[in-house]
Chains A and B, each alone.
Chain A
Amino acid sequence: MDPHHKRNQLLSLAGMCAIVLFLLYAQTYGTSYDVRILNNCALFIILAVSYNLINGVTGQFSLEPNAFVAIGAYTSALLTLTPMEKEISFIIEPIIWPLSVIHIPFIFSLIAEGVVTAIFGFIMGFPVFRVRGDYLAIVTLGFGEVVRVVANNAQTVTNGPLGLKGLAPYTNLWWSWGFAIFTVFMISRLVKSSYGRALKAVKYDESAAEAVGINTFWHKMLAFTCSAFFEGVGGGLLAHLITTISPTLFTFFLTFNLLIMIVMGGLGSITGSIIAAVFVTWGSEVLRFVEEPMHLGFIDIPPVPGMRMVIFSLILIFLMIFARNGIMGTREFTWNGVIDWIQKYVKPAGKGT
């Protein structure tokens, strides 16, 4: 065991308190814009960390998170809307029977959408993990498209292209950050466990992993289903943050954003995913200025909507060419690492040697 276990636990606790205090501060003194960005950060931490579990840790490059997020969002929306609201929303075709009367509190809906998405991920895993590599990417991308097309057409369940409106804005800083911390905790526990080591073995050499007795198929399924669970809950939180969902929200674009995050953070590093999720969410707000009209001396630049995505695409290509490991590579944040680092740089100066 780590001799510093107790100290590290205390430090973690202190860190948690610092986050809570910060959120309290943001809640009281922050503008609604600040709160919104913080909420977005937390949601993208949930989505990026769980996406990283399958893509980075297990090394199965897949492109389906938009499907999982969509399923989570629709499930939670259909469960928390009151029967009355549903009747008003579904103007073209009425909603089918069991869904029309179900109405459960937000917290149970979070669990339900996680479970529903996990079941979906589990079923989807059977065909998906028959293939590897590029094919895996395309098949999962295909699933994402299929879910979007179904959401667009299954009028009696999803209300088609009209989407679902008027969800109660349940998601606040406590829900989003609380669940973000829970996700990070659960996934880092999973990665550190023997299952996690098996997942890493699958990433580095699937045949070798099989040779030492790891059932690679079921380990991939485990990672995939876990990832689906958390993405589903993230989707539910997202739905109750923006309060309106429609199929256009869950295109490949969402997956692309998450992909940038996990690649920037380093495929396989939870810490990296968190840093990059915050960085990209915050950065895309900061970068808004590039889309606004500018006056540079004599030249007036008209507003160019869409410029931010050009920048992000370029960042992704540059990362792949020049910095394939991202910010963290596969390293993780640990208190031991931080303290070693401090001792390395602070102590010699203190001794004056």
Chain B
Amino acid sequence: MNYEITRNAIDVQEVIDKVISRNAGAVTTFIGTVRELTYGKKTLYLFYEAYEAMAVKKLEQIGREIQERWPDSLTAITHRVGKLDITDVAVVIAVSTPHRDDAYQANRYAIERIKEIVPIWKKEMWEDGEEWIGNQKETVAYPKGKPEEKDLHD
């Protein structure tokens, strides 16, 4: 299982171990962590929610896209849901490739795609309130009901 949603703390090494290969000359690991300050506003903790069955499918799709673009790569992604405290690890992406440039690029591609197509949401909990991120500000709209080609491939 290279693509997982978990309610537990993520073991970073366990994700990395999934992409270790004799053909690999590079492994890049992205670790997304919970930040305390966002534009000066203090977060107490986060709550992540996922449409789990579809989220796993979309992570697998990202894996297939990476495989097409960087054929010799291996990818593993684990995203945590539930209550996360400041500094907790929310997501780990590991990519191995024969050469380092591809490993950096493919890993960057994975996190950007997660932010586009994987049904996971975070709620920021503050001292004076809370808000689901990515909706009420309506900074991203999908007038046709689903992401358009440009949203999917930027």
A, B bound: no
